[in-house]
């Protein structure tokens, strides 16, 4: 039987099997060379000498799985043609057959070249090849800079460009040689088909993110412009800008900051910064508080105790001498806990208590009972926490807009003398954090041996304990992972229930909570701890069957978006809030302006949130794919991208009377207005990211360069 099959494969006219096997051989060559290019991509450092990924073997395995699955699908499209030609004896050996083979070889070689370009784009700018990159950043400057960038590539001068030409030519020659020999290596084809089938099965079973290692063939629809959104109409942009600036002023009562630019409408400047950056001349020579310093020199012209030359009170969070930062700025320790759902943290109204250590910390600082993730999943929260910006529906900011100028909390703190460190429990390359971290932080810490929470937080505690008293102020951000979807009870996680997701998650959340408590207990006796503000939040929540939902991508109901948000420490601005559970809506975008406020740093920039230690009207906006949520006052409205004006796609809830969103309200005009507002916010943010109009030219992630600073 086996001999007959082999003979049918080798003989022309064998019911299409001969041509099918020959084309399978061509695909095998393509996949082999593509795997080699993937290896060159993953094993080389990025152009600046940093490791591209932390788990090279893991990424290479997943890449080959997705590439092989895509190759199988490509061959299936050719199957009818193969059978048609195979039924005609000797046709595959004719000129027509040769032309078909040459076309296949050229097409796959072109796909290989496209893949190599994509790999190099990913190495340099952290995103896939897409038309918006050339539309926004192409032009003469790119042509001038490209040779220099390739020459100084730490992964090998011009190596990426060489592979772009060598690999497709080698593949084409190898495939054409194989075809001309009229001989099919059945065992090689069998190995290829086995690998491809295994890859296809793996891609069906594995539910993880595929973005970074997506198949090269997936680039083709994007490059043809499929799915590109239309330009934002001027009237919609104008209405969205008006919405945003009204939200901002309501969140900052009494603040006299100005919005100086229609082109970058998120940018707000305090009167002092507006004067020194030339955004205004109005009042710049006046002395409103009578302290002898005009507004252009006085960083707070409403307080006579604040002016250049004033005595700066250390540690009060106020920059009395206008040096740019408080005399003894506070340290910040920010813990971002994986999937730490607010609906299971006891101090949040309507919640259970699976995190007693966080409940205890909430009594020692300012806690928020209505805090939410600004964007889901983890990478959305990562961007909102660091940039203080809203996301948008459907698009993922971290992966699609990697060259856009954005504000950054760690970069601003670093410019004011802070030592900045990021500790991650998972490989930051997986969801494209690396491209941002290398811009923002002084040092990034990741080791695959420290991926569970107890291991990581013990390491962080030991690392922090070695910091000397009186050193530079620091920002240390830590992200955990044990409570990730699947909620596996790793070593050290107690088993208190059955194998259902809720029972497993209760155990993994409790494990993380215990590890946080041990970390804080370990460092609380350090001399610098009394001068440290601790922030604890979750990256997002997680649904456990509420509203019939069991997966994070299915909705932005409160169980998916609610997170703990605690700001604790001995900072003077926090004393009035000690033990308070604040019920004003809050989100991750509020963290950057809050920490800058506590450090005594001017909050001018594109931050869309508010300082949580000041009074103001909060607005919580959340995005997850096509799902949108907005909360203000008592009202929360859920809407769908593109359908915000249609009642059947919206829901509203009273979050004070109904904190778990169990009783939908009839839609009112106020609810419809919020649905329209969140749609406009999404449209505006997408437009600003795409056009790179978050910050003006000359503003980097650390903000404007002020004269003399």
- In this predicted structure, the answer to whether residue 156 has a pLDDT above a threshold of 80 is yes
Q: Longest Cα pair distance anywhere in the chain, in angstroms? A: 101
- Strand 371-372 relative to strand 586-587: parallel, antiparallel, unpaired? parallel
Q: What angle do CA 503, 480, 66 make, to 5 degrees?
A: 90
- In this predicted structure, the answer to whether residue 708 has a pLDDT above a threshold of 50 is no
Q: Which residue, chain included where needed, has tokens 């107690």? A: 494
Element (H, E) at 332: strand 331-337
**Contact status, residue 470 vs residue 415, Cβ threshold 8 Å:** no
Q: What is the pLDDT of residue 48?
A: 74
Mean pLDDT of the chain: 85
Q: How many other CB atoms are there within 10 angstroms of residue 462's CB atom?
A: 12
pTM comes to 0.85
**Contact status, residue 376 vs residue 540, Cβ threshold 8 Å:** yes
The phi, psi pair for 448, rounded to 5°, reads -65, -10
Q: Which residue, chain included where needed, has tokens 């507002």? A: 677
* Average pLDDT estimate for 159-163: 89
Higher pLDDT, 21 or 421: 421
Q: What is the pLDDT of residue 144?
A: 67
Q: Per the omega criterion (within 30 degrees of 0), is the bond before 614 cis?
A: no
Q: What is the pLDDT of residue 185?
A: 59
Residue 165 CB partners (closer than 8 Å, separation 6+): none
pLDDT in tens, 619-630: 999 999 899 999
Q: How confident is the model at residue 23 (pLDDT cuts 50, 70, 90)?
A: low
In the chain, what are the domains? 2-223 (no CATH), 332-623 (3.40.720.10)
Q: How many other CB atoms are there within 10 angstroms of residue 657's CB atom?
A: 9
* Average pLDDT estimate for 650-679: 96
- In this predicted structure, the answer to whether residue 14 has a pLDDT above a threshold of 60 is no
pLDDT in tens, 89-137: 455 556 666 676 677 777 778 888 888 888 888 788 777 777 666 655 5
Distance separating alpha carbons of residues 216 and 108, to the nearest angstrom:
11
- In this predicted structure, the answer to whether residue 229 has a pLDDT above a threshold of 80 is no
pLDDT in tens, 536-554: 999 999 999 999 988 888 8
Q: Which residue, chain included where needed, has tokens 């001018």? A: 604
């Amino acid at each position: 039987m086996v001999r007959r099959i082999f003979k049918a494969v080798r003989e022309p006219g064998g019911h299409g099997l001969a041509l099918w096997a020959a084309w399978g051989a061509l695909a095998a060559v393509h996949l082999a060379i593509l795997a080699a290019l993937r290896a060159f991509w993953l094993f080389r450092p990025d152009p600046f000498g940093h490791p591209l990924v932390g788990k090279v073997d893991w990424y290479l395995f997943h890449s080959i799985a997705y590439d092989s699955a895509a190759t199988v699908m490509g061959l299936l499209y050719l199957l009818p043609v193969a059978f048609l030609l195979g039924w005609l004896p000797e046709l595959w050996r004719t000129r027509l057959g040769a032309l078909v083979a040459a076309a296949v070889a050229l097409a796959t070689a072109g796909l290989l070249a496209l893949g190599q370009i994509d790999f190099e784009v990913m190495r340099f700018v952290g995103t896939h090849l897409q038309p918006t990159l050339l539309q926004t950043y192409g032009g003469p400057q790119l042509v001038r800079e490209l040779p220099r960038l390739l020459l100084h590539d730490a992964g090998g001068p011009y190596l990426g460009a060489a592979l772009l030409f060598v690999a497709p030519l080698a593949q084409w020659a190898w495939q054409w040689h194989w075809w001309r020999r009229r001989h099919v290596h059945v065992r090689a084809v069998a190995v290829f088909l086995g690998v491809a089938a295994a890859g296809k099965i793996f891609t069906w079973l594995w539910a993880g993110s595929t973005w970074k290692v997506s198949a090269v063939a997936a680039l083709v629809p994007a490059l043809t412009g499929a799915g590109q959104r239309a330009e934002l109409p001027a009237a919609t942009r104008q209405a969205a800008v008006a919405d945003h600036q009204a939200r901002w002023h309501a969140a900052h009562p009494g603040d006299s900051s100005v919005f100086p630019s229609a082109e970058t409408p998120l940018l707000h400047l305090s009167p002092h910064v507006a004067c020194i950056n030339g955004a205004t001349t109005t009042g710049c020579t006046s002395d409103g508080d009578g302290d002898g310093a005009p507004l252009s020199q006085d960083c707070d012209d409403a307080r006579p105790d604040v002016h250049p030359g004033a005595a700066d009170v250390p540690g009060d969070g106020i920059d009395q001498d206008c040096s740019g930062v408080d005399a003894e700025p506070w340290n910040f320790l920010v813990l971002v806990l994986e999937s730490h759902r607010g609906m299971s943290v006891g101090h949040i109204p309507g919640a259970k208590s699976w995190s007693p250590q966080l409940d205890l910390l909430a009594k020692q600082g300012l806690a928020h009972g209505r805090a939410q993730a600004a964007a889901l999943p983890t990478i959305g929260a990562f961007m909102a926490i660091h940039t203080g910006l809203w996301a948008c529906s459907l698009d993922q900011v971290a992966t699609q807009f990697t060259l856009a100028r954005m504000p950054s909390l760690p970069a601003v703190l670093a410019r004011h003398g802070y030592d900045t460190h990021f500790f991650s429990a998972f490989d930051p390359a997986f969801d494209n954090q690396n491209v941002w971290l290398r811009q923002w932080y002084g040092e990034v810490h990741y080791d695959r041996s420290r991926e569970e929470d107890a291991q990581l937080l013990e390491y962080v505690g030991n690392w922090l304990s070695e910091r000397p008293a009186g050193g530079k102020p620091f920002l240390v951000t830590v992200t955990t992972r044990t409570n990730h979807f699947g909620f596996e009870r790793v070593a050290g996680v107690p088993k208190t229930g059955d194998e259902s997701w809720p029972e497993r998650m209760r155990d993994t959340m409790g494990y993380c909570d215990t590890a946080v408590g041990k970390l804080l207990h370990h460092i609380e006796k350090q001399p610098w701890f009394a001068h440290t503000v601790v922030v604890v939040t979750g990256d997002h929540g997680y649904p456990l069957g509420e509203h019939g939902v069991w997966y994070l991508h299915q909705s932005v109901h409160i169980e998916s978006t609610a997170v703990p948000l605690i700001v604790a420490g001995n900072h003077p601005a926090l004393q009035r809030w000690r033990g308070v559970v604040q019920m004003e809506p809050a989100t991750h975008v509020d963290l950057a302006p809050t920490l800058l406020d506590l450090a005594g740093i001017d909050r001018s920039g594109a931050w869309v949130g508010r300082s949580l230690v000041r009074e103001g009207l909060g607005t919580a906006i959340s995005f997850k794919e096509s799902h949108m949520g907005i909360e203000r006052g008592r009202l929360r409205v859920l809407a769908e991208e593109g359908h915000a004006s249609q009642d059947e796609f919206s829901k509203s809830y009273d979050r004070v009377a109904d904190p778990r969103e169990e009783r939908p309200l009839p839609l009112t005009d106020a609810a419809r207005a919020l649905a329209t507002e969140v749609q406009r916010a999404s449209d505006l943010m997408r437009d600003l990211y795409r056009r790179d109009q978050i910050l003006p030219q000359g503003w980097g992630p650390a903000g404007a360069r002020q004269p003399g600073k």
